[in-house]
Structure 1
Amino acid sequence: MENHFEPHFTNDQLRSISSIGLAHMGDAVFEVLVREWLCAHGKATGRGLHQATIRLVCAESQAEKAKSILPLLTEEEAAVFKRGRNAQVHTVPSHASRAQYREATALEALFGWLYLSGQRERVNELFSRMMEEHN
């Protein structure tokens, strides 16, 4: 039986996924990590939990957090990040600039790629670095 909670795509399979597809997956991965982090750190309760999640997963926040990990990326990770940043997005949320949205999409593509390639430890390492300022 296939384990959908812990996928491990081959390099060929990963290359066949569009940048938008990787970002779609990474968006979900990032949100799950944020929700777990908020619960574990007791940062919010009840209705405030939803608002805290929204503040951390919005494009502006993701773009800012991406800056803290860029120097840590391997050559391959940086290539995936750039591929995500160059993705053709057709709509940008009104509360984010196009540049912020591109950086957020790049971050999500990276997280999607890492997750689908089975690199959970690396996802955790990068996410932890991004969240250090919130501790």
Structure 2
Amino acid sequence: MSERQLTILYDAVHRGELSSLGLAHVGDAVFELLVRTRLCQQELTAERLHKRTVELVRASSQAAAARGIQDALTPQEQDVFRRARNTKAHRVPHGATPGDYALATALEALFGSLYLDGRGDRVAELFNLCWEHLPAAADHPAQM
């Protein structure tokens, strides 16, 4: 992506033109990349890396993480989180509850918003908090 394209995207984010679902789409990739990076610090087989990643990025795990970090969010972050949580999902994935899916979408939108705002420091800070609340990560406390 060129610098000009990134500038256009950043400007769209700041004008509020990117929907909550658009932010969640970006945030999904950011969150999964962070999980994968964290897991690669452990000595796991490729199969185990994949299974652990799937466990940690599913809606129920992300919802648990979202519940755990809500008190640490700034008012602006709470607004992004709330708008995304209240967005009507067109389809809830098999195995996810609507409530968990809404919280997972909110968490992903928050990560997408922070990433697109260039707030990598805050992304890392919130991810470390999320890691403490991810059910399947409790026995793997490595910090980024």
Question: CA shift at 1:8, angstroms?
Answer: 7.7
Higher RCO structure, 1 or 2 (CA under 8 Å, sep 6+):
1
Root-mean-square deviation over aligned CA pairs: 2.1
**Structure 2 unaligned spans of 5+:** 133-137
Equivalent residues, number? 133
- SS of 2:84's partner is helix
Structure 1 residues 14 and 72 mapped into 2: Cα distance closer, same or farther (>3 Å)?
A: farther
Q: Equivalents in 1 of 2:15, 2:118: separation in Å?
A: 11
Query: For the Cα contact (< 8 Å) 1:29–1:115, is it kept in 2?
Result: yes
* Aligned residue identity for 1:25: V
Percent identity of paired positions between Structure 1 and Structure 2? 47
Residues 6-33 of structure 1: CA distance to partner in whole angstroms, max 9, x if unpaired? x982476451000100000000000000
Structure-1-length-normalised TM-score: 0.90
Give me the TM-score of the superposition, normalised by structure 2: 0.84
4+ long deviations beyond 4 Å: none
List runs of 5+ in structure 1 lacking aligned partners. Answer: none
Give runs of aligned pairs for residues 95-106 of structure 1, distance below 5 A. 95-106=95-106
Aligned equivalents of 2:11 and 2:121: distance in 1?
Answer: 17
CA deviation vs aligned residue, 1:20-74 (integer Å, no higher than 9, x gap): 000000000000000000002x063211111100000000000001111100000
